[in-house]
Amino acid sequence: MSARPVARATRRSARTRERIIEAATEVFARRGVHGTRVADIAERAGIAYGLVYHHFRNKEEILTAIFAERWAQYVAYLEDLARTPLSFRERMGRLIHFWVETYRHEADLMTVMINEITRSYEFLESHDITAVLAAFDPIERIIAEGRLNGEVRADLDAQLATYVVLGVAEMVLTGYVIGSLQRIDQEAFARDEQQLLALLLDGMSTPRP
């Protein structure tokens, strides 16, 4: 009964839990939460499906865990950004870069967050929507600050603009996800970042002389 076996067990258990989350993220991304059977997750994780219930009360709770553990990181990044003393343009550039990079490295996670969390009536119903909307706050603050220091138009509705910014991110990432926007090399993504930044900050119109 030394502490070690427990520790080992705990460590192993934690690894199993993490494996389940990773496996769930993959299959949720591919088939949606509803279209995924617990058995699919277990199979992907290489464990017996009964074991999933040692770590999570039910399927829904796996999604909740994904949300709890990843969304917080995401919001934390946004909060950091909102606190960093940079120009509005610089901040927006970083924001866009963050989204594109996250998609590139964790496309499945991004897909799940977009489809099953941000968009899911069911998820929003059964969870504290505040946590979801927490991602909106720092962006709104960034915009509001930009307005205060004159970088952003004075007449801009910061709340609405926040939706615009997030909508742009979501749709472009969705284009990546479903493959209708095909980008292969680093350069193509970089070009998109510049385009998006220009679009959001300067609009589509030809600048008046």
Partner DNA sequence: GATGAATGAGTCTTCATTCAT
Partner DNA sequence: GATGAATGAAGACTCATTCAT
Assign residue 139 a region: left if phi > 0, alpha if psi is -120 to 50, beta otherwise?
Answer: alpha
- Write the binding mask 150 to 189 for DNA: x where contact by CB under 7 A, - elsewhere: ----------------------------------------
Rounded distance, CA 56 to CA 65, Å? 9
146 binds its own copies (CB under 8 A): yes
Q: Can you tell me the distance from the alpha carbon of 20 to that of 159, in angstroms, rounded to the nearest whole number?
A: 37
- Cα separation, 209 vs 195, whole angstroms: 21
Please tell me whether residue 7 binds DNA under the rule CB under 7 A. no
Site track for DNA across 40-69, x = CB under 7 A: -------xxxxx-xxx-xxxx---------
**Per-residue binding letters, 36-75, with its own copies (x by CB under 8 A):** ----------------------------------------
d(CA 149, CA 179): 39
Q: Which two tokens stand for residue 90?
A: 């610089």
Among 193, 77, 85, 93, residue whose Cα is nearest residue 135: 77
Rule CB under 8 A: is residue 115 a binding residue for its own copies?
A: yes
Residue 180 is a binding residue for its own copies (CB under 8 A): yes
Residues binding DNA (CB under 7 A): 5-6, 8-10, 12-13, 16, 36-39, 47-51, 53-55, 57-60
